[in-house]
Amino acid sequence: MEAAGAVVWRPDPNDRTGKDVQLAVVHRPRYDDWSLPKGKLEPGEPAWAGAVREVAEETGSLVALGRHLGQVRYRVTRPVRATKVVDYYAARHTGGGFAPNEEVDELRWCSPQDAAELLSYHHDSGIVSSFTALPADLTTLLVVRHAKAGSRDQWDGPDVERPLSENGRRQLPALRALAGLYGADRVYSAPLVRCVDTVAGIADDAGVPVLDEPLLSEEAYQGAEERAVARLRELAAGGGTPVVCSQGGVIPDLLSRVAGDLPMPMRRLESKKGSVWALFFTVDGGARLVAADYVRRP
Select the CATH number that applies to the domain covering 139-295 from these four: 3.40.50.620, 3.40.50.1240, 3.50.50.60, 3.40.190.10. Answer: 3.40.50.1240
Closest among 192, 179, 195 to 241, alpha carbons compared: 179
CATH architecture type of domain 2-132:
Alpha-Beta Complex (3.90)
Q: Where in the chain is the domain with CATH 3.90.79.10?
A: 2-132
What pLDDT is stored for residue 260 in this prediction? 85
C-beta of residue 259 within 8 angstroms of C-beta of residue 141: no
Residue span(s) of the chain under CATH 3.40.50.1240 come to 139-295
Q: Which residues of the chain have pLDDT under 50?
A: none
With CA atoms as reference, report the closest residue to 127 among 35, 21, 27, 7.
7
Sheet of 288-295: strand order equals 210-212, 186-189, 242-246, 139-145, 276-282, 288-295
Residues 121-131 pLDDT 10s: 999 999 999 99
**Per residue in 246-259, pLDDT tens?**
999 999 999 999 99
State residue 134's pLDDT score: 95
Question: What pLDDT is stored for residue 16 in this prediction?
Answer: 80
